Structure 1
């Protein structure tokens, strides 16, 4: 029997981490553009990006480690590979791990970083070359 079943984070925490990650990513991407228009804002924006990334990636590290602990401490991979019966606790733990992955919004951060990076590179090239 599981002493304490792990749970996924509440929606506000999940979305808060996503927004923080997006804003931190945006901060770094706009630095070259901001420098053209208002160089005094570069340092504050850079600090916001760094602090935002520290908090965002600390949160992501915590979530990943929590998932790994559940999997390894309960030998879930070994049980799945053995093709034996999974007991109720194993199923609850697998539900937690899979729900956590599905509820995660990290994929939004990844696509946002790719898209905003492309846009900012194009804008920066346009501002400096043309």
Structure 2
């Protein structure tokens, strides 16, 4: 396995702004509902769909990191390296914590629940 390539900055910033826009949409909802009730659902959809895209992207990054660590056997290779004891322990901790983190599952659950919320609203609405 070869190390994965970094994504271009425009992708990183694109998803950053997608997440930011979604966050703003949810925070605007109470105001919009009070001042322009007809705008509530369109704003809510933009927020939920934006979060779906953002969290799916974050989930894929987490999977990519884990697959790299496991696929390249980095933890074992690190143990055999000539780094200083403190350096190796710090790097081992970082890699190990990324490997066992539930961050990816968290993103996946939020994504799935967002899709369920959209489906429920479409079914009810």
Q: TM-score, normalised by structure 2?
A: 0.62
Query: CA–CA distance in 1 between the matches of 2:3 and 2:58?
Result: 20
The answer to whether residue 13 in structure 2 is matched with residue 15 in structure 1 is: yes
Query: CA–CA distance in 1 between the matches of 2:37 and 2:76?
Result: 56
> Residue 115 of structure 1 aligns with which residue?
none
Q: Deviations over 1:90-128 (max 9, x none)?
A: xxxx9xxx9xxxxxxxxxxxxxxxxxxxxxxxxxxxxxx
Query: CA–CA distance in 2 between the matches of 1:38 and 1:11?
Result: 36
Higher RCO (CA 8 Å, separation ≥ 6 residues): 1
SS at match of 1:8: coil
For these two proteins, the number of residue pairs brought into alignment is 84
Matches within 5 A, 1:1-130: 2=1, 4-80=2-78, 82=79, 84-85=80-81
Q: Give 1:41 shift.
A: 0.5
Q: Give 1:85 shift.
A: 2.3
Q: Which runs of 4+ in 1 moved over 4 A?
A: none
Query: CA–CA distance in 2 between the matches of 1:29 and 1:70?
Result: 37
CA RMSD of aligned residues (A): 2.0
Is there any run of 5+ residues in structure 2 with no aligned partner, and where? 83-90, 96-125
Q: TM-score, normalised by structure 1?
A: 0.59
